[in-house]
Structure 1
Amino acid sequence: MPSLRQLTSSLLLATGLLLAACGEDKARVTLKLTDAPGDGIEKAVVTISKVYLKGSVEGEEGKGDVVLLSEPVTTDLLTLANDTADLVTDAEVPAGTYKELRFVITGGYIQVKQDGQSRIFATSANYEGLPEGAQVDGDLQMPSASSSGLKVKFDKDADVTITSDDDQKVILVDFDVAQSFGKEAGNSGKWVMRPIIKGADMRFSGNVEVTLQLGDGLSFPMPGTTQLSGFSAVLINADGSRETMPFTLATNSVAVADFKYLLPGDYQVDLVAPTGVSFTTDIARPAATSVSSGVESDVHFTLTSIDF
């Protein structure tokens, strides 16, 4: 959720599996991708070369790997905050029980802010996903990402069972960017990707709607200078990844920020004011909230004082 959800914020990656009936013993699968943003990371580009389910196909003991994606897809995970993108559409999957979803990542780079400058760390200086003319300042290492693939841990370690008469299902996979990229120990200057990826049935994902309201008697000194839309909401997941979202005015005195595609769990919500503004609210910050299966959580702040 690094910013959070999108590499959350949190990297916040989220993936969906849409399972619909298809034939006598197969289902159709669509794979969706989303992510949690990461503080200080400006870009997080990866090339996903293969995605597969690992398990036990009915009637074929020991032959449980089903490839969903074999053509490389390159994407900037940070463009997917609060959104999803299709990686696979209508792949046929045999009925069976699948214990893992795995991503094989064969290259990538991150662009980070260091000492007031943007620096690029890539898996190689000639990685195909780099912008034309980009200067690579250091190495990005991805242990095991291109061999056995990165395992997606499903909520409560539940297996994924696919049957020919399934109703449509969605599994959301959250790739926490902030927790997945970090500097290598020491002074090598290298960065390392050790992905934190979690999944849950999309039906059981939720959202957090944050509302900010002016208290009675409060107003901004000059219309158009500093308004509620100048504030931002900050969502913090259990691992400490943060996602920041500007408020959108609903009325002159109420603003809203809606964080979508969240896995069930505990979160905190905080506020950030425009530069030079201090404020207090009616409830303590950060405020605790929980996301439950298929439910919207609401956090409401009322400004009780504003100083410019």
Structure 2
Amino acid sequence: MKTRNLFSSALLALSMLALAACGDDTSRVTVKLTDAPGDDFEKAVVTISKVYLKGDGAEGSGEVVLRSEPVTTDLLTLANDTADLVKDAEVPQGTYRELRFVISGAYVQVKEDGVTRVYATDDYEGVPAGVKVDGELQMPSLSTSGLKVKFANDADVEVTSEQTQKVILVDFDVAQSFGKAAGGSGRWVMSPVIKGADLEFSSNVVVTLKAGAGLELPVVGDTQVTLSAFNAVLVNAEGSREPLAFTDANNDGTFEANFKFLIPGAFQVEIEGPAGVSFTTNPGIPASVTATGGAESRADFTLTSVVEL
């Protein structure tokens, strides 16, 4: 379930830009990267050395390289945001069976038993100078043929003459992509889970929270509890959790958390309260919500009680 400087989900329409320098039999393709983060990760840095489309040889489209210059990014900076991994690559029109990422190295910084540890692939140059590597991050052979991006129903990538520009959203699920190796070896394993969709079919989920009529929020210690101390949490089908703070954007007493750039699918919505209180909501939590392509979904909650523990 979600990057900000190097690469850049609310309802977004795909902006069809009229671009010059595109031939009659080519279109522009942009690939935007986003991320569903994991709870215990402090950093998840990967180097993507190549991005390419793999076509049907019978159609003569072959392999079309979208990016061959290595780029390194911390995926956790992409939560609820996107960044341009590929920008306006000129691609022959046709049907492509696969979009693939070649990943040459990575490291994760995680909190284990209250201690921060770093796990990296062999001789990974992306580890900052002076940072101690505590263990190995194993990585399957992603540096050769690369990793296939999964589209719904294993769909092909269509680049057609009707599209002046095609924008593909790619979600790199950190929580599902990195995990401890079995057997107590202390190593971590990278088995990336990457999903794709056309940006025009991406979704967003808006979660709202307001206080019920007459509800008084308690004071815990010396701090007055407010709705801004609560978080909405979006949980995807694989169990990855993305927390997002509520804000009163419209100054009307209804607080909102907007999860953007979502690959369509089923989600659970939870509410996290501040330390030192218990609370109830209407409807109860968790609540189910389905994010559908190109549409906004909502989950609206009212606080019915908040008491100090």
Match of 1:96 in 2: 94
Match of 2:160 in 1: 163
Helix, strand or coil for the counterpart of 1:74? Answer: strand
Q: Is the 8 A contact 2:159 2:166 kept in 1?
A: no
Identity, in percent, stands at 63
Q: Is the 8 A contact 2:99 2:157 kept in 1?
A: no
CA RMSD, aligned part only? 2.0
Per-residue deviation, residues 120-151 of structure 1 (Å, max 9, x unmatched) = 00002x42211220000000011021111010
- Taking the aligned partners of 1:114 and 1:224, their CA distance within structure 2 comes to 30
Residue 62 of structure 2: which of 61, 64, 68 is its match?
64
- Taking the aligned partners of 1:188 and 1:149, their CA distance within structure 2 comes to 26
Helix, strand or coil for the counterpart of 1:156? Answer: helix
Residue 178 of structure 2: which of 181, 195, 207 is its match?
181
- 1:36-115 matched pairs, under 5 angstroms: 36-56=36-56, 61-115=59-113
- Taking the aligned partners of 2:165 and 2:92, their CA distance within structure 1 comes to 15
Deviation at 1:52, TM superposition (A): 0.2
- 1:185-264 matched pairs, under 5 angstroms: 185-221=182-218, 225-250=224-249, 251=251, 253-264=253-264
Helix, strand or coil for the counterpart of 1:164? Answer: coil
Deviation at 1:249, TM superposition (A): 2.1
Q: Is the 8 A contact 2:30 2:166 kept in 1?
A: no
Q: Is the 8 A contact 2:27 2:166 kept in 1?
A: no
Deviation at 1:116, TM superposition (A): 0.7
Aligned residues: 293
- Taking the aligned partners of 1:19 and 1:119, their CA distance within structure 2 comes to 44
TM-score (norm 2): 0.90
**For residues 49 and 307 of structure 1, do their structure 2 counterparts lie closer, same or farther at Cα, with a shift above 3 Å needed?**
same
Q: Is the 8 A contact 1:206 1:295 kept in 2?
A: yes
Deviation at 1:292, TM superposition (A): 0.9
**For residues 218 and 160 of structure 1, do their structure 2 counterparts lie closer, same or farther at Cα, with a shift above 3 Å needed?**
same
- 1:21-32 matched pairs, under 5 angstroms: 22-32=22-32
Per-residue deviation, residues 280-304 of structure 1 (Å, max 9, x unmatched) = 0111210001011111111011000
- Taking the aligned partners of 1:295 and 1:189, their CA distance within structure 2 comes to 43
State the AA in 2 paired with 1:108: A
- Taking the aligned partners of 1:293 and 1:82, their CA distance within structure 2 comes to 17
Q: Is the 8 A contact 1:19 1:30 kept in 2?
A: no
State the AA in 2 paired with 1:239: E
Match of 1:286 in 2: 286
Would you say 1:268 and 2:268 are equivalent positions?
A: yes
Helix, strand or coil for the counterpart of 1:169? Answer: strand
Deviation at 1:63, TM superposition (A): 4.8
The worse-fitting range, judged by mean Cα deviation, of 26-35 and 183-192 is 26-35
- Taking the aligned partners of 1:156 and 1:139, their CA distance within structure 2 comes to 34
Q: Is the 8 A contact 1:45 1:110 kept in 2?
A: yes
The worse-fitting range, judged by mean Cα deviation, of 169-178 and 148-157 is 169-178
State the AA in 2 paired with 1:266: A
Q: Is the 8 A contact 2:233 2:270 kept in 1?
A: yes
Helix, strand or coil for the counterpart of 2:158? Answer: strand
- Taking the aligned partners of 2:166 and 2:269, their CA distance within structure 1 comes to 29
Would you say 1:127 and 2:124 are equivalent positions?
A: yes
